[in-house]
């Protein structure tokens, strides 16, 4: 189950951060997302280490913690998508598909002429669409 999704901007500023849990652990998830930026930063800064995957947008598992797994995705505009999930065994392929769908939603959201690049995404449509994607992800993995 995906518990948190975040879009982190070019300057490591959060553009969108949404948790999908009932529990009051938003702070914890925020911290997790915030810390994951470190890992992404490191990968962005040392591209030669990730040699063959230079054009790969999917960053894979960023940091496995006790109960969560954090996956990352980097767009070519250096916008980061960070996903926190409680599913401990997720196939990378599923994750890629998910991120691709999420990326499409993000592109649509920022294509809105009223959206100011660099500002937080406040579009309700985007939020709804993301919620749908998250829900369907849960279905495909469990089902």
Partner 1 sequence: MEPDASIETSSMIRVAVLPIAGIPPLLFRDYAAMLLRHHTVSLNSISSFYTEHQKSPFANQPWESGSLRFKFILGGSPPSPWEDFQSNRKILAVIGICHCPSSPDLRSVANQFAAACKSYSSSLVQRCFAFCPGDSQLEEESNKGSNLVLFPPADRQTQEFHLQTMVQDIAASLLMEFEKWVLQAESGGTIFKTPLDSQASLSSEEVIKAKKRRLGRAQKTIGDYCLLAGSPVDANAHYSTALELTRLTADFFWYAGAMEGSVCALLVDHMGQKDPVLEDEVKYRYNSVILHYRKSFIQDNAQRVSPLSFELEATLKLARFLCRRELAKEVVELLTAAADGATSLIDASDKLVVYVEIARLFGALGYHRKAAFFSRQVAQLYLQQDNKLAATSAMQVLAMTTKAYRVQSRASSEPASDAGQSYADGGKMHHHSIVSLFESQWSTLQMVVLREILLSAVRAGDPLAAWSAAARLLRSYYPLITPAGQNGLASALANAAERLPLGTRCGDPALPFVRLHSFPLHSSQIDIVKRNPAREDWWVGSAPSGPFIYTPFSKGEPTHNNKQELTWVVGEPVQVLVELANPCGFEVMVESIYLSVQSRNLDAFPVSVSLPPNSSKVITLSGIPTKDGPVSIPGCIVHCFGVITEHFFKDVDNLLIGATQGLVLSDPFRSCGAAKLKNAHVPNISVVPPLPLLVSHIVGGDGSVMLYEGEIRDVWISLANAGTVPVQEAHISLSGKNQDCVVSVASDTLKSALPLKPGAEVTICVTLKAWQLGVMDADAAASKGVPGTSGKQVKDGSSPMLLIHYAGPTTNPGKLQMGSVPAPGRRLVIPLNICVLQGLSFVKARLLSMEIPAHIGETYTKLVKSRSDGTAQENGSERSDRFMKIDPYRGSWGLRFLELELSNPTDVVFETSVSVEIENPINKESLSDRTCAEFGDPKTRIDRDYTARVLIPLEHFKLPVLDGSFLTKGSQMDGITGGRSSSFSEKNIKAELNASIKNLISRIKVRWQSGRNSSGELDIKDAIQAALQASVMDVLLPDPLTFGFRLAKSSSNNSANLNPPKQADMQVYCASGGSIIAHDMTPMEVLVRNNTRETIKINLSVTCKDVAGENCIEGDKATVLWEGVLTGIIMEIPPLQEIRHIFSLYFLIPGEYTMSAAAVIDDANEVLRARARTNSSDEPIFCRGPPFHVRVNGTA
Q: Which residues make up the interface to partner 1 (CB under 8 A)?
A: 9, 11-14, 26-27, 30-31, 34-35, 37-39, 42, 46, 49, 63-66, 116, 118-120
Closest CA to 20 of 132, 143, 139: 132
- Lateral strand order in the sheet of 14-19: 14-19, 2-8, 80-85, 69-74, 58-64
Q: For the CB of residue 139, give the shortest distance to partner 1 in the complex, in Å.
A: 30
Our CB check for partner 1 shows the closer of 66 and 89 to be 66
**Is the CB of 10 or the CB of 91 nearer to partner 1?**
10
Q: Please, what is the minimum distance in Å from the beta carbon of residue 109 to partner 1?
A: 15
What are the angstrom distances between the C-alpha of 24 and each of 31, 32, 68? 13, 14, 16
Least distance from partner 1 to the Cβ atom of residue 64, Å: 7
| Residue 100 or 119 having the CB closest to partner 1 | 119
Considering the complex, what minimum distance in angstroms separates the CB of residue 13 from partner 1? Answer: 4
59 contact partners, CB below 8 Å, separation of at least 6: 40, 43, 71, 72, 73, 74
Q: Identify which of residues 92 and 104 has a Cβ nearer to partner 1 in the complex.
A: 92
């Amino acid at each position: 189950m995906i518990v948190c999704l975040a879009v982190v901007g070019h300057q490591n500023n959060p553009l969108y951060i949404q948790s999908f849990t009932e529990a009051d652990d938003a702070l914890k998830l925020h911290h997790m997302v915030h810390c994951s930026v470190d890992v992404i930063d490191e990968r962005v800064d040392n591209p030669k280490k990730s040699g063959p995957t230079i054009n790969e947008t999917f960053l894979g598992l960023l940091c496995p913690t006790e109960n969560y797994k954090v996956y990352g995705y980097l767009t070519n505009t250096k916008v980061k998508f960070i996903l926190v999930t409680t599913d401990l065994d997720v196939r990378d392929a599923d994750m890629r598909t998910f991120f691709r769908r999420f990326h499409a939603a993000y592109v649509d959201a920022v294509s809105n002429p009223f959206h100011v690049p660099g500002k937080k995404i406040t579009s309700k449509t985007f939020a709804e669409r993301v919620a749908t994607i998250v829900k369907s992800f849960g279905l495909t993995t469990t089902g």
